[in-house]
Structure 1
C-alpha cells in the first residue's frame, strides 16, 4: 500500500500498515518520538490501519498540543483504570465498577461510572495519584479487533457496555483498547503508551449524569478532568477557572439581588428582582432606541398560540423534544409559544402588502417557552422561559442584502457597546443528507450564498459549519470571547425563504403580480436571560454607570450630613439617575466598604466642607482600580454623570 507525506513523498508500506509502520519506514528516532498522526486530516493513533493512498502527518513529542483530543481521551481511560484500582484497593471486585462513556471534551475529559459506593470530591486527589502511578508504569496501549460474541462475553458483568455492544450493527468492527490489566470498548484513537501522556492534568469535579442523557435511565457518577500539553497551560486554565467561579452569575446574581429562581414558581423560570429589572430595562431601552432609528415597528404577541400555527410553521414537528405539551381549550389545542416568528408572519399577513410597503420590520421582546431537562438548567443561561429580542424583516429579494448588512451592523454595534470586541462569525449551513430541513434546494442555495456574500463584502472572517442551520434556513452566529477567554454564542441572523412559503404570504409587485417576500430573523442579544447571565460574568458584576442597577451611593460622614445627602439624592433622582443614601449608623469606612461589595460604580462622600461648598468627594470604581477626586462641585458632577448615563459611555 502507499501513503503520502506532507512534502508529497510516497511511502511504500505493507498492506494494512499503521502510522507507526510509516514512522519506522522514515527512521527509528521518529518511531520513538511519534505520539499520533493525521490521515487525510483526521486524527488517528499509531496502531490503527491507514487507508490506502492517505496523506499522513506524524505528531511527535515536540508538538503534543496537536493531538490534544487524543491524549485527553487516553487520560480518560487512565482515570477509568485508576478508579477501578482505587475500589480494588478497598476490597471491591473488578466487576463492581461499571462504566458508561468517557470521551475527550473541550479542555479535558470525563468518564461516567456506576460505582459500588459514591466517590467524594475529596477522593479525587487519591484517583489523581493512582493515574500518575499508571503513567509511571509506561503501559503499552494496544488495539484489538474482536467479534461481537467475544465483546459481550468480556463485558457480561457491565449492563452499559452490553447495551452499547448489542446495538452495534452486525459486521461493524468492534475494537478494544488495553493498557495493562485495563480493557475498554473504544473506537480510539489513543497515545501509544501511558508513559507518553502529559502529566499536566487535574480532576476537577463530580456530578450526576443520566445514562445516555435520558432522565428515565439510571443516574451515573461523572468525573471531570482537565488536561493540557504543558503545566503552564494547565496553570493558566485553572486561574481562569478560579476567576470564573468569582464571576459566576448565579453567585453574583444572588449577592447583587438581580434575580432568583424559586422552586415553588418552577425550575428554569427566573424571577427578576428590582435590581435585575433595572438592568433588563436598560438593555431593552438601548435596543429599542437603536431599532427606532432603523425603522423597526414594535409588536406584542400572546404567550400561547393555536397548535395549528406551529404545525404550519414546522416548529411543532421540528422542535418536538423542546416543546411543552399542548393543552386543550374548548375543543382546540394550544401550546406555550416556542418561537415568536409564526406570530409575526400572521401580523404581516393581516393586511395586503405592496412592494412599496417593504421592507416591513417587526420587533418584539417576546417571551417564549422551551422544555429543558432539569440537569441542563443553569441560572439564567439555560432556562425554560425566556425573552428574545426578536425581530423579523419581510423584504423583497432585491432588498435582502442591504437589510442583512444593516442587521449585521446593528449586532456588531450591540456587542461593541458592551466591550465584546473579540468576535468570530460562524455561518451555519445545511449538512449533506440532513433530513430536518424544509424547503427547496434552490431556496437553500440562494440563502446560503447571500449570507456568505454579505459577510465577505464587509470583510468579516467567518467559518462555515455544515449542519448548524435552523430547519427553515441558514444563519450567521456571533461567537464572542469574554474577558476571561470563554466563548459564547450570542446574536444570530437567519435568512428564511421557507416560512413565507409555508404560510403562503405575498406582496403585490410593481408588475401587479403576487410575489413571495424573504424573511430575516434576527436577535442581537439572543435572549435577555442568557445575555444578562453572560454580561454579569463578563463584567464580574462591575457594570458601567449607565447599566448599573445601583449607580450612585451618597455617603454622609456623620448624621448631621444626612439632610445634605438627601438633598443631593433628590436632585440626582429628578435628573433620572439612580442614587441612594447610606444613612446607617456605620462609620464612613464601613459604608464605603459596603458600597464596594455592592459594586456601586460611584460613591459621593459628603462632610462639613462639602456641605459648605455644595460639593462632594468622588470615589469611582474603574477597570484600572479606584479613582478619587475631592471637592468636586455638585452641579458640575451631576451634569457629567448625566451625560455619561445618557451617552452610555
Structure 2
C-alpha cells in the first residue's frame, strides 16, 4: 500500500480503520467523523436548496417488499436476510422502495408533483470478501439517495435542475469538470420493451435539454431503467463514476405508485433516481486520494491548530484557549496544541495531521491582541484576532 492510497492517508491522519471483526465495515474516528459530517452537510444544504425534503426509512424490511420491487432477484445472496418462511426480513441494499412507500401513503394530485425526497440511506450488501477494498468497496455504506416523482412533462426540467446542482457540488470538492455516460437496458432487466423504449427516449431528451453530450454505454443501465453516469477525473488522471440519474417506469408499476391527473384518472408517475456522490464512504476515499490528504481548508476535519509559544506561560495558555473559543464561535473546527514541545515541532505535526492553518500566540500577540497565522507552505502573517476569525470564517464556506 503506497502513501497515496486512501487507507494509508486515513491511518496517517487518524480518520478511520477496519478490522477482521467487522469485514467490509468502517470504524470512523473523531477526525474522520468530522470529515464525513462536512461532506454530508454539504450535500444536505444543496439538496434542500434544490427543493428536496429529507426522509428516513427503515433498515429492516420484509422480504416480500424486496421481491415485489425486484431487488431480491437482482441482489440475491448479496442481501443480508434474517428469519424463516413468511417472516424473512432483509437489511436494505438501497432506499428506493422505502421512498415509494412514503409517496404512496397519501393520495397525490398532479398539482402535488414533483415530489422530491432525499435520504442519507445506510445500506448493506454482502459483497464477496475478495472484492472489499478499504472505503472504495464496503459491505456497509451510506448513499446520498434521492428520488423525484413527477409527470412526464416535468422530466427535462428535473434532470436539468439536478445536473446544475451536481456540477456546483463537484466544483466545490475540487473537480471542475466531468464526463457523462448514457447507460441503456441491460440483459437482465424488469419491465416491458415498450417501457424501456420510452424511458430511454425520455432520458436522452432530458440529457440533451440539460446541455449534456453523453457517450453511449450499451447494456449498463440499472435493472429498472436507463441512467446517466457522471465520471470525475482525479489529479492522478483516474476516472471515478460517482453521480447518477436514473429514469424509472418500472418501480412505480411494481409498487403501485400513482397520482390523480387533471382528468381525475389514476396515473403512474415517472420516478427519477438521483445521487450526487453515490457512496459517501467511497467519495471520501476519492477525496483523500485526489487531494493527497491535504484537504481544502473548508473540508479539513480540523481546520486550525492554536498553540501558545510557551505552554508553561499562564497568560499565553489562557489567550490560546480564548483564541480557540473565538474561532469555534462561527463554526470553525479549531483545536488547541499546548503540548510541551518546541513550536517548530508542533507546526510540523499540525501540517502532518492535515491541519491547513497554524495559529501561534506568544507574549507579543498576547499584548497586542493579535495572532500569527501560518498556512501550508507560507510565511506567518500577524493579524488582529477579530480580523483573523472573520477571514477564516469566510474561507470556510466552499
State the 1:332 CA deviation: 1.0
Say which of 254, 264, 282 aligns to 1:512.
264
Deviations 1:52-93 (A, max 9, x none): xxxxxxxxxxxxxxxxxxxxxxxxxxxxxxxxxxxxxxxxxx
State the 1:563 CA deviation: 1.7
SS at match of 1:478: strand
> Superposition pairs for residues 38-117 of structure 1, below 5 Å?
none
Say which of 295, 300, 325 aligns to 1:543.
295
2-side partners of 1:643 and 1:469: how far apart?
Answer: 42
1-side partners of 2:153 and 2:192: how far apart?
Answer: 19
Q: Residue 255 of structure 1 aligns with which residue?
A: 12
Contact kept, 8 Å, 1:617 with 1:628, in 2: the verdict is: no
For the pair 1:644 / 2:375, whether they are aligned, the reply is no
Distance change in 2, residues 1:258/1:469 (3 Å): same
Contact kept, 8 Å, 1:307 with 1:335, in 2: the verdict is: yes
Say which of 338, 356, 359 aligns to 1:583.
338
2-side partners of 1:338 and 1:273: how far apart?
Answer: 25
SS at match of 2:146: strand
> Superposition pairs for residues 419-498 of structure 1, below 5 Å?
419-431=174-186, 434=187, 436-498=188-250
Contact kept, 8 Å, 2:160 with 2:209, in 1: the verdict is: no
SS at match of 2:161: helix
SS at match of 2:278: coil
> Superposition pairs for residues 202-213 of structure 1, below 5 Å?
none
1-side partners of 2:358 and 2:68: how far apart?
Answer: 56
Q: Residue 383 of structure 2 aligns with which residue?
A: 632
For the pair 1:417 / 2:172, whether they are aligned, the reply is yes
Distance change in 2, residues 1:396/1:458 (3 Å): closer
Contact kept, 8 Å, 2:167 with 2:177, in 1: the verdict is: no
Q: Which runs of 5+ in 2 are unaligned?
A: none
Say which of 368, 379, 385 aligns to 2:140.
385
2-side partners of 1:422 and 1:639: how far apart?
Answer: 31
SS at match of 1:245: coil
For the pair 1:322 / 2:73, whether they are aligned, the reply is no
RMSD, aligned CA: 1.4
State the 1:548 CA deviation: 0.8
Deviations 1:391-416 (A, max 9, x none): 11000111111111111112112111
State the 1:375 CA deviation: 1.2
Q: Residue 374 of structure 2 aligns with which residue?
A: 619
For the pair 1:527 / 2:279, whether they are aligned, the reply is yes
For the pair 1:407 / 2:162, whether they are aligned, the reply is yes
Deviations 1:83-110 (A, max 9, x none): xxxxxxxxxxxxxxxxxxxxxxxxxxxx
State the 1:331 CA deviation: 5.0
Q: Residue 347 of structure 2 aligns with which residue?
A: 592
State the 1:567 CA deviation: 1.3
Contact kept, 8 Å, 1:422 with 1:482, in 2: the verdict is: no
Say which of 281, 288, 306 aligns to 2:62.
306
Say which of 26, 32, 36 aligns to 1:270.
26
2-side partners of 1:382 and 1:439: how far apart?
Answer: 29
Deviations 1:274-326 (A, max 9, x none): 111111111111111111112111110111110001000000012214222x2
Distance change in 2, residues 1:329/1:577 (3 Å): farther
Which structure has more relative contact order (CA 8 Å, sep 6+)? It is: 2
Q: Residue 601 of structure 1 aligns with which residue?
A: 356
1-side partners of 2:326 and 2:341: how far apart?
Answer: 24
Q: Residue 368 of structure 1 aligns with which residue?
A: 123
SS at match of 1:257: coil
2-side partners of 1:290 and 1:596: how far apart?
Answer: 30
1-side partners of 2:33 and 2:393: how far apart?
Answer: 21
2-side partners of 1:427 and 1:354: how far apart?
Answer: 31
Contact kept, 8 Å, 2:224 with 2:248, in 1: the verdict is: yes
Distance change in 2, residues 1:318/1:500 (3 Å): same
Higher Cα radius of gyration: 1
Q: Which runs of 5+ in 1 are unaligned?
A: 1-243
> Superposition pairs for residues 208-287 of structure 1, below 5 Å?
245-264=2-21, 266-287=22-43
SS at match of 1:524: strand
Contact kept, 8 Å, 2:171 with 2:177, in 1: the verdict is: no
Over 4 Å off, 4+ runs: none
> Superposition pairs for residues 30-45 of structure 1, below 5 Å?
none
Q: TM-score, normalised by structure 2?
A: 0.96
2-side partners of 1:643 and 1:461: how far apart?
Answer: 36
Q: TM-score, normalised by structure 1?
A: 0.60
2-side partners of 1:573 and 1:618: how far apart?
Answer: 16
State the 1:628 CA deviation: 2.5
SS at match of 2:378: strand
State the 1:329 CA deviation: 6.8
State the 1:616 CA deviation: 1.3
